[in-house]
Homo-oligomer: A and B are copies of this chain.
Amino acid sequence: MKFRRSGRLVDMTNYMLHHPHALVPLTVFAEKYKSAKSSISEDLTIIKHTFEQHGIGTLLTVPGAAGGVKFIPKVSISEAKEFVEELCEQMAKPERLLPGGYLYLTDILGNPGTVNHIGRLFASVFAERKIDVVMTVATKGIPLAYAVASQLDVPVVIVRKDSKVTEGSTVSINYVSGSSKRIQTMLLAKRSLREGSNVLIIDDFMKAGGTINGMISLLEEFRANVAGIGVLVESEGVEERLVDEYISLLKLTDVDVRERQIHVKEGTYFNFYK
């Protein structure tokens, strides 16, 4: 009997972690383990308590016949602080400096553990907003967008800068890149986004915000709504920022090419953390 509970706890934990933000009826577990609903409820209490204690997230119970339990991933503030601090350190390494003052981020964005961690941070802070889909623009934002969407249980749509036949018909817009002031095009497959969708925009880097503004214009074409904007790194010191409301993990305050120094600090994330 003791072992049955242990086995259930392990398997239910696995199940909940793989189904964030999804409403799971208790009967799913009761049938799977041939257990009474009351035992399942007790198991869920233990899981909820442990998740909260260890900064994994929480379980919400929705009562009634159509009810069940929902796992909401939630990173504790201490874990988030520690992680952002580590990222700042990594980001500030002088060997990241590329000609022109650009930064090499490929190693950070190429680490799935780091990317998934970033995903959990964004999913935490956007947990209470109504989000139907995560949108990003190819290429660098893609892994981040999937990491966030995985934790929110919503699909991803990818805006492209070139047309591909495998997308079917597309809607395109022209936009002005904020920093270079050049006119560019972005497009999205027509059937990839439903009218009225609530869209969370995720990207790796924001300078003046031109690309993100482009995505907002594209959403207008689809009559979709901006549910939020999350960027990994924002660059400070741009005269006129085009986008006002966004959540950034890191803020690049200064890149000194001659002295080979990169100054990075916490972004706006903790202003939104509840």
| A115 sits at the interface (CB 8 A) | yes
Establish whether residues A110 and B157, one from each chain, have CB atoms under 8 Å apart when the complex forms. Answer: yes
- Taking a contact as CB atoms closer than 8 A, the residue among B11, B105, B143, B165 that contacts A50 in the complex is B11
| A90 sits at the interface (CB 8 A) | no
Q: How many chain copies does the complex carry?
A: 2
- Chain A 141-160 per-residue mask, 1 if CB under 8 angstroms from chain B, else 0: 01100110110011111101
| A106 sits at the interface (CB 8 A) | yes
Range, interface on chain A:
35 or more
Give the distance to chain B from A248, nearest Cβ to Cβ, in Å. 18
| A127 sits at the interface (CB 8 A) | no
When chains A and B are docked, how far (Å) is the Cα of A232 from the Cα of B14?
Answer: 25
Which residues of chain B are near A6, meaning CB under 8 Å? 5-6, 9, 46, 50
- 10 intermolecular pairs with C-beta atoms under 8 Å apart: A3-B46, A10-B10, A13-B13, A13-B14, A14-B17, A112-B154, A115-B146, A138-B138, A140-B166, A143-B146
Q: Chain A interface (Cβ within 8 Å of chain B)?
A: 2-3, 5-7, 9-11, 13-14, 17-18, 46-47, 49-51, 53-54, 56, 98-100, 102-107, 110-113, 115-116, 138-140, 142-143, 146-147, 149-150, 153-158, 160, 165-168, 189, 191-192
